[in-house]
């Protein structure tokens, strides 16, 4: 196995570990627990799960894997703060979208070679990428892995 393959394998395993931890944590929670706030006046657990789902969904076009599967999650989970929308998707809807989005990402990740991971993502122009080649697909994977870990840390703070 080449050094590139080893580095990519480590990055993908870290992503999978973070997503699997989030999946196990959120999927095991009953609907009433998902309504609990991280701290008084802060985001609810359902909001964090929906937010992670929306962010992962946005990775699809960013990594040139096709269109988003659930753009309707942006308004309740990205564009607006928790509790500012009259209705947000419920636990079953978030659970289904979470699975669908992460399954699609996993399938697309498996198709990429190490060289493919070093290609630009769609939010950077060719000119800017020439100046900043670190703005690649791998950097998106690494930053989103950290994003999941950050929110899992918040979930750990929620009273039980």
In this prediction the pTM is 0.96
Q: Would you place residue 159 in the very low, low, confident or very high pLDDT band (cuts 50, 70, 90)?
A: confident
**Structural domain count, the chain:** 1
- Using CA atoms, how far residue 62 sits from 20, 40, 57, 102, 127, in Å, is 22, 34, 9, 14, 17
**What pLDDT was estimated at residue 1?**
83
Range of the domain at 103: 3-157
pLDDT over 90 at 160, yes or no: no
Mean pLDDT computed over 71-80: 98
Based on its alpha-carbon atoms, the radius of gyration of the chain, rounded to whole angstroms, reads 17
Query: What CATH number corresponds to the domain at position 14?
Result: 1.20.120.450
Q: What is the pLDDT of residues 114-123, one digit of tens each?
A: 999 999 999 9
**What pLDDT was estimated at residue 18?**
98
Mean pLDDT computed over 66-87: 97
């Amino acid at each position: 196995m080449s050094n590139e393959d080893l580095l990519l394998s480590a990055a993908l395993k870290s992503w999978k570990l973070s997503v699997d931890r989030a999946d196990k944590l959120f999927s095991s929670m009953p609907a009433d627990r998902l309504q609990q706030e991280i701290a008084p006046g802060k985001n609810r657990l359902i909001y964090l799960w929906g937010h992670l789902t929306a962010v992962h969904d946005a990775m699809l076009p960013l990594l040139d894997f096709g269109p988003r599967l659930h753009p309707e999650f942006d308004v309740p989970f990205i564009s607006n703060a928790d509790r500012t929308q009259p209705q947000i998707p419920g636990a079953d809807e978030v659970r289904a979208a979470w699975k669908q989005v992460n399954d699609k990402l996993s399938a697309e990740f498996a198709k990429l070679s190490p060289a493919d991971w070093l290609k630009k993502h769609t939010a950077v122009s060719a000119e800017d990428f020439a100046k900043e080649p670190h703005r690649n697909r791998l950097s998106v994977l690494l930053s989103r892995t950290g994003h999941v870990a950050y929110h899992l840390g918040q979930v750990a703070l929620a009273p039980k």
